[in-house]
Amino acid sequence: MSAAPVRERGVQGEPGCSRKLVELDQQLREVVGQRQVRHEQAAAGDDVLPARQRCPTQCQRLPTYPRNVAAARTRAIAASLDTVTVAEADAGDLTSYRHIVPADLVVMAGVLGNISDTDAHTTIRTLPQLRAPAATVIWTRTRRAPDLTPSVRRWLTDAGFSEQAFTAPDDVLFSVDDHRFTGTPRPLQNGKIFQFIA
C-alpha cells in the first residue's frame, strides 16, 4: 500500500479547512471525559489531537498510512498525550478493533470521502458492532457534488443513531456531524468493511 496520505476530497488544503478543524474540535470537547475513545482516521491527526489535551480518557488512533502513523505519534508525544495510542492498522478491517471495543466515541474524519459509497453504507451499518450504549459518532465529509451527506445521515438513522448536530456552512463545502447511538450494540464480527480509494 502506498505511503502517501489519503485525505478527504474538498476539505484538506481548501478554504474552510481551518473552520472544519475548529468545529470538529468543539464537538470532540463536548464528549470528552467518556471512558474509551476509538478514533478512525485517514489524515495525519491535526483534527483530533488538540481536543485530546483536555481529555483524560484512553484514545486509540488507527491511521492506515505509515507517514500518518509517524506524524500522529510525533504530535502525541510533543503534546504529552499519554492516553493516546497510535496503532498502524487497517482501519477497514474489523479485526483492527477487536481489542478496543466497545467504544464511547468513534471519530470518522477523512474516511467517508475517501471510500466508495457502497463501502460508506457498509461501514455505517457496521457501527453498532463498535459502540457502547449511548455512544457518539462524529464524522466529516465534503458536500461537493454528488453530495452524499443526506444519504449518510439517513443511513445512520437506519442503523440506530439520533442526530445531535449537523454543521454545514453555506460558504464552504465541509460538514461535521454528531450522532448518538440509541440502538442495541451488536457483537463484533470479522471482515473487511471498506477500502480507501487510491
pLDDT of residue 7: 32
pLDDT digits 0-9 by tens, 22-35:
677 777 767 665 44
pLDDT one-digit tens code per residue, 91-119: 899 998 888 888 888 888 888 998 999 99
Report the percent of the chain where pLDDT is more than 70: 70
Reported pTM: 0.77
Give strand pairing partners of 40.
108
Grid coordinates of 183: 440502538
CA nearest neighbour of 57 among 97, 109, 103: 103
Domains along the chain with CATH numbers: 17-181 (3.40.50.150)
Quick one: which H or E segment has residue 121? helix 117-126
Q: In the predicted model, what is the mean pLDDT of the chain?
A: 77
- Report the distance separating Cα 178 and Cα 22, nearest Å: 14
pLDDT > 70? residue 46: no
Predicted confidence at residue 164, as pLDDT, reads 93
Q: How confident is the model at residue 127 (pLDDT cuts 50, 70, 90)?
A: very high
- Given a contact cutoff of 8 angstroms between Cβ atoms, the answer to whether 64 and 39 are in contact is no
72-76, 134-138, 148-152, 173-177: segment of lowest average pLDDT:
72-76
The single-letter code of the amino acid at 190 is N
pLDDT grade, residue 74 (50/70/90)?
Answer: confident
